[in-house]
Structures are given as structure tokens and as C-alpha cells.
Amino acid sequence: GRTAALIPAAGSGTRLGRGPKAFVEVAGRSLLARSVAALAPYVDEVLVALPAGLALSPGVNARAVVGADTRQGSVHRLLHATSADTVLIHDAARPFLPERVVLALLEAAAETGAATAALPVADTLVGTESGDSPGRLWGHLVPREGLWAVQTPQVFTRAALLAAHTAAEREGFTATDDAGLIAWQGGRVRLVPGDALLFKVTTPGDLALAEALARNVEA
Ligand code: C5P
């Protein structure tokens, strides 16, 4: 069957403070252009959800739809804009995408219908006590054993993900990613080893790290 890459790229980039995040450049190339180019070799088509009023730059080989107020809403619109059997969802904000991860995800999803990149948590996890500011107080320790940090890409059967999105919208359920919607529906999601390179560019510090990486890798 056909596979489409769906890239939610309609975020405003508030925490980064550089305008719509997908259009921010790293070493002369936007986060969005990097994500599109990284995925194009593995799929039949690439669709991106953009902020209203913005268009794809020339040379970015993808189809654009207007995004929504939330990531979940943007992905829902992308799902309606393709008829592919399999969809690979990837945040524009994760510009470094190892081939190994894409291939492993496509293989896993062919078996289970749902798979996501994820990494075992390496840091100590702690909940804070409320009400102490500035700074916070150490509250209760959360054992990190068995905990994974979920990344994208995530790969699904389109029909199953669309059904999950439709049910979530109807019932007012929200999740921060698509695997969370499948799991909420009782579906099984396979975890595939992700990569530290798949970090999400969120803060100015992340952008500096991305710049350094891009200059090193592309030099
Ligand atoms: O805000 P955050 O970094 O979690 O966003 C993850 C991805 O979802 C980004 O690529 C962002 O552009 C996208 N997004 C979207 N529509 C929104 C909010 C975020 O497509 N309304």
C-alpha cells in the first residue's frame, strides 16, 4: 500500500521566540525543509500542516494544508488530506532523522499497525512540591525504571489513527502525540529505539545545539 509522511508544522514557536518554528533556519535551512527532505525518500507523498497564511518555500517538495490550534487538530486535518494506507507522523521540530529509525518504524508498524520511536529515560525523575517559587522543592521521586521518552516519527495504519482522532475529538480527549490516542483506544503501540539526534527543538538552547550539529555533520 501507499505511505504518506504527515508533518505537523503549524506551531507558533512561542518558547523559541523566533516566529513560526518550522520556518526557523538551522545552518541556512529551515526545520521544515530538513524534515521534508529526510522523509521524502521513504514515502510516496509528504504533507505538511502550516500556520494559516504561510506557504511552503520553493524547492520544498510537499503538499500543504492549513493547520489547527493544536498539534492534535493539525494531524487530524493531515489525515483527512491523504488516502495512503500507512501514515508516518513526524514533528517538523525534530530535524535530524536517522535512516535506521525510519526503516525500523516502517517494519514494526507493518507487523503491529502502530509504532513510535522512544528512548529509555536516562535522568532521575522527580515531582516538585507545589507553591515554592522561585525554584522548586524536591517532592516525590518517580522511579525511572521502565519509563521511556516518546519521540517521533510514529507510524500507523491511517484508518486506525483517523478513527482514534475522530473519537478523541468527539469525546474531548487530548494527547500530546498520536501514539497516545491509539493507546487510549486500547491499541498496542510498539516502541522502537529512537535516537538522541531526534530531540525536539523547543528552546533557544536546543536551537544552538541544532546549529552546532548541522555544521558538524554537513561540514
Ligand atoms: O509545540 P511542539 O514543539 O510540541 O509542537 C510539536 C509539533 O507540532 C511542531 O512541529 C509544531 O509545528 C506542530 N504543531 C502544529 N499545530 C499546532 C501546534 C504544533 O502542527 N497548533
Percentage above 90 pLDDT, the chain: 93
Please write the tens of the pLDDT for every residue from 167-184: 999 999 999 999 999 999
Q: Give the distance (Å) from ligand 1 centre to CA of residue 52.
A: 13
Smallest CA separation from ligand 1 atom 6, residue: 91
Of 15, 74, 78, 150, which is best to mutate to test ligand 1, by the most ligand atoms within 8 angstroms of its C-beta?
A: 74
The dihedral region occupied by 53, where left means phi > 0, alpha psi between -120 and 50, and beta the remainder, is left
**Which of 188, 149, 183 has the alpha carbon at shortest distance from 168?**
183
Confidence of residue 107 (pLDDT cuts 50, 70, 90): very high
Q: Give the distance (Å) from ligand 1 centre to CA of residue 133.
A: 29
Please write the tens of the pLDDT for every residue from 118-170: 999 999 999 998 777 778 899 999 999 999 999 999 999 999 999 999 999 99
Instruction: State which ligand 1 atom lies nearest to the alpha carbon of 8.
Output: 20
Q: Give the distance (Å) from ligand 1 centre to CA of residue 99.
A: 22
Q: Give the distance (Å) from ligand 1 centre to CA of residue 91.
A: 7
Q: What is the pLDDT of residue 135?
A: 82
* Separation CA 189–CA 69 (nearest Å): 26
Would the pLDDT of 8 be above 90? Answer: yes
* Separation CA 178–CA 143 (nearest Å): 25
**Which of 216, 190, 197, 165 has the alpha carbon at shortest distance from 108?**
190
Rounded to two decimals, what is the model's pTM? 0.96
Please write the tens of the pLDDT for every residue from 37-92: 999 999 999 999 999 999 999 989 999 999 999 999 999 999 999 999 999 999 99
Q: What is the pLDDT of residue 123?
A: 96
* Separation CA 161–CA 141 (nearest Å): 34
Which residues have C-beta atoms less than 6 Å from ligand 1? Answer: 8-11, 21-22, 49, 67-71, 74, 91-93, 200, 202
